[in-house]
Amino acid sequence: METFLIDVPMPSMGATVNELTVIGLKTQPGDRVTRGQKLAELESDKSIFEFESPCDGTIRGILVQAGDVKPAGGPFLQIETADASLRHLQAAAPAAHATGAAATAKVLIWTPRATKMAQEAGLDPATLTGIAATGPGGRVSGDDVTRYLAERKS
């Protein structure tokens, strides 16, 4: 059977839940998983729940770490699978693991408001460096963007 790599997004918990906190991971790259196997424990503003594997396969990349606050629908992990029903999730390329040695580089996590403010100021949040992340969970907040823009003007 032909296998392919899928991007598994952070789950969507309804119209009012925009972000999820990763409480803990129960797998690592290289692990074989089965459909329904518990992969992580996540928390929304309303509940704590376990995230299950959508298919049988092998974990090829984990794009989050415990403590991360991520948007629903955003990148979560990659699984190599033969499950043709998930072909619509096929990944363009393997991702860098966000755990282990690759996690040493500091990746900034932006709140939606901060992202919008930076873009409106003509900045690219994906490449912006030198900004303090003082928001909840170490995220870049709107206040951080305001401070950064004020410092650039002076």
Quick one: 99 and 40 in the same domain? Answer: yes
Q: How far apart are CA 152 and CA 154, in angstroms?
A: 6
The per-residue pLDDT for range 35-64, each reduced to its tens digit, is 999 999 998 877 888 999 999 999 998 888
- What single DSSP character describes residue 30? T
Quick one: 88 and 136 in the same domain? Answer: no
How many CB atoms are located within 10 Å of the residue 122 CB? 6
Q: How many structural domains comprise the chain? A: 2
Quick one: 89 and 18 in the same domain? Answer: yes
**CB contact at 8 A, 89 and 53:** no
Quick one: 35 and 9 in the same domain? Answer: yes
Quick one: 54 and 116 in the same domain? Answer: no
Beta strands in 34-118 (DSSP E): 38-43, 48-52, 57-62, 69-71, 75-81
Quick one: 56 and 126 in the same domain? Answer: no
Q: State the pLDDT confidence band at 128, using cuts at 50, 70 and 90.
A: confident
Quick one: 122 and 97 in the same domain? Answer: no
For all residues of the chain together, what is the average pLDDT? 83
Choose one of 78, 104, 130: the last residue of a domain: 104
Q: Cβ contacts of residue 98 below 8 Å, gap of 6+? A: 61, 62, 63, 64, 65, 107
What CATH number is attached to the domain comprising 128? 4.10.320
Quick one: 16 and 78 in the same domain? Answer: yes
Pairing of strands 19-25, 38-43: antiparallel
Looking at residue 93, its pLDDT comes to 59
The per-residue pLDDT for range 91-125, each reduced to its tens digit, is 875 555 444 433 334 567 777 788 889 889 998 88
What CATH number is attached to the domain comprising 49? 2.40.50.100
- What single DSSP character describes residue 74? S
**pTM, 2 dp:** 0.59
49: domain range?
4-104
